[in-house]
A and B are shown apart, each in its own frame.
Chain A
Amino acid sequence: MLKILKYSFTDLMRSRWSYIYFLFYLTLGFVLFFLNTDLTKAVITLMNIIIVLTPLIGTIFGVMYYYSSREFTELLLAQPVKRHTIFAGQYLGVSLSLSLSLVVGVGLPFVLYGIFASAAIWDFATLLMIGAFLTFIFVALAFNMALFFNDKIKGFGAAIILWLFMAVIYDGIFLLSLMLFNDYPLDKLALGATMFNPIDLSRILILLKLDISALLGYTGAVFKDFFGNPLGMVVSLSLLGVWVALPVMLMLRQSSKKDF
């Protein structure tokens, strides 16, 4: 698996788009930390961008990588290599290279800013970890879509719709239901609804970490109330872990049943 991972990783590291992605974060990091005096504000801005952008980029890169390397995958499938090895290797290659772009891209300005001396290091580390988690989750979801649809356009469309749903529509439906059922106790529903969306979950995790109640919103407030701060962190973090594990398992299952 390590060999496949290595090749997928180097393949992506040589792609122009990886550099654009990396440079984007690098620029963003520098702008936010050197033109902004309030570090917490910078982290929040960064959070808002990372929480929407990493899933989107993970989705796009995941789908594109799968379809563009399909012929090569077929070549690998005819070799004495296990199917799980091939797909797990490619998946990790894509996820790791994207995570690296994020961590190094945002990390570099932070290090230059002198973050190690600052108290915000843990907030910042949480943010990067969440970004990596979201990348792993959405690349896995994208691979699932690509494996499911042989047609590139359909696969791409389905993956983007999934991202749009998680990033935008989900919240909309959620808010709407809160307004409609205003008279009922909705704490449990809100709590449950959050767990089914990794983007919401990530937002709460970071906001709990930053301890900014004003930005928590209804869901976050309920979450904090229900779990208390440290427990809320542990629960949301392990839920993110589940969000990685389930799509990866589904992807491997799909890959072992598919005809190529």
Chain B
Amino acid sequence: MLKVKDLHKSYGPVNVLKGVNIDFKPGEITAVLGPNGSGKTTLLKSILGMVIPQKGAIMLDGASILGNWQYRDKIAYVPQIANFPGNIRVEELIRMIRDIRPGAGAYQELAETLKLTPFFKKKLSALSGGTRQKVNLVLAFMFDAPLVILDEPTAGLDPVALIILKDLIAEQKARGKTILITTHIMNLVEEMADKVVFLLDGTVYFHGAVQELKEHTGRDHMEKAIAAILEKSYA
């Protein structure tokens, strides 16, 4: 489905990605993990075409995506920071995105589930961080895209919304979608992810099942397993 081959990206003198190779399979949830500044967001943004890599290839369904834009029709993206133009209303923003990107499905039910409907007439600048994140989720999940990318989707969400988010992700998985997620919440990874990609210093340190990571590090908890890798790398 999605293949990343020998991806290199540097911002000036800082090498963020130094030859990343990953093969993402359909129907799998892959958690992209790594310490701050390990290149998680850069990797996701390269896939989205927002960051232009210096070297390497990204293939989606066998076709190279670099320099293209039509392929983004196959992607639903939940960004890390949910900042929107402040002077427009939630409803207007949703309508605007539906207008700009054809092929959207119904969103009312989704908004209802997320308890977002009461905020429809509110201006985006008046919303809390968690509510904005819900807007983000509606904007992404109203499209039926085969590739779902979530960059820290849990930021600001309350426990109820978190449960809804998990259900949403599980439902997407059941429909055979390829799901990429970055998060610092290890519970979420343990509960949901099939595979883990661990980025360290711009390379893939580990790619495999969650269970394998635990065996690999000899720890029985995700958090401890991750901590073990980090301690080793800092040492």
Shortest Cβ distance from residue A258 to the other chain B in the assembled complex, whole angstroms: 8
- Are A71 and B51 neighbours in the complex by a CB distance under 8 Å? no
- Are B100 and A81 neighbours in the complex by a CB distance under 8 Å? yes
Asked whether B45 is an interface residue with its Cβ less than 8 Å from the other chain, the reply is: yes
- Are A72 and B84 neighbours in the complex by a CB distance under 8 Å? yes
Report the Cα distance A252→B83, complex, angstroms.
24
Q: Which of B135-161 contact A (CB under 8 A)?
A: 139
Pick from B50, B84, B99: contact of A78, CB under 8 Å:
B50
- Are B45 and A79 neighbours in the complex by a CB distance under 8 Å? no
- Are A80 and B99 neighbours in the complex by a CB distance under 8 Å? no
Q: Which of B62-119 contact A (CB under 8 A)?
A: 69-73, 75, 77, 79, 81, 83-85, 87-88, 96-97, 99-101
Asked whether A184 is an interface residue with its Cβ less than 8 Å from the other chain, the reply is: no
Task: Classify the interface of chain A: helix, strand, loop or mixed.
Answer: helix
- Are A77 and B50 neighbours in the complex by a CB distance under 8 Å? yes
Report the Cα distance A15→B88, complex, angstroms.
11
- Are B52 and A78 neighbours in the complex by a CB distance under 8 Å? no
Pick from A7, A14, A75, A83: contact of B69, CB under 8 Å:
A83
- Are A11 and B73 neighbours in the complex by a CB distance under 8 Å? no
The size class of the interface chain B forms with chain A is 20 to 34
Q: Which residues of A contact B70 (CB under 8 A)?
A: 80
Shortest Cβ distance from residue B156 to the other chain A in the assembled complex, whole angstroms: 15
Closest residue of A by beta carbon distance from B52: A259
What total count of A-B pairs have CB within 8 Å? 60
Pick from A11, A71, A77, A257: contact of B83, CB under 8 Å:
A71
Asked whether B129 is an interface residue with its Cβ less than 8 Å from the other chain, the reply is: no
Q: Which of A59-111 contact B (CB under 8 A)?
A: 68-69, 71-72, 74-83
Asked whether B234 is an interface residue with its Cβ less than 8 Å from the other chain, the reply is: no
> How many chain A residues touch B (Cβ–Cβ < 8 Å)?
24
Shortest Cβ distance from residue B75 to the other chain A in the assembled complex, whole angstroms: 7
Report the Cα distance A79→B69, complex, angstroms.
8
A-B pairs, 5 with minimum CB distance? A71-B83, A80-B73, A80-B72, A78-B77, A260-B50
Beyond the given A72-B85, A78-B48, please list 18 additional residue pairs across the A-B interface where CB-CB is below 8 A.
A3-B100, A7-B96, A11-B85, A15-B87, A68-B85, A71-B84, A75-B79, A75-B97, A76-B100, A77-B48, A78-B77, A79-B72, A79-B101, A80-B70, A80-B71, A81-B101, A259-B45, A259-B52
The chain A residues found within 8 Å of chain B, CB to CB, are 3-4, 7, 11, 14-15, 68-69, 71-72, 74-83, 257-260
The chain B residues found within 8 Å of chain A, CB to CB, are 11, 45, 48-52, 69-73, 75, 77, 79, 81, 83-85, 87-88, 96-97, 99-101, 139
Please list 24 pairs of residues, one from A and one from B, whose beta carbons are closer than 8 Å in the complex, sorted by A's number.
A3-B99, A7-B96, A7-B100, A71-B81, A71-B85, A74-B79, A75-B84, A76-B100, A77-B48, A77-B49, A78-B77, A79-B72, A79-B97, A79-B100, A80-B70, A80-B73, A80-B101, A81-B69, A81-B100, A82-B69, A257-B52, A258-B52, A259-B50, A259-B51
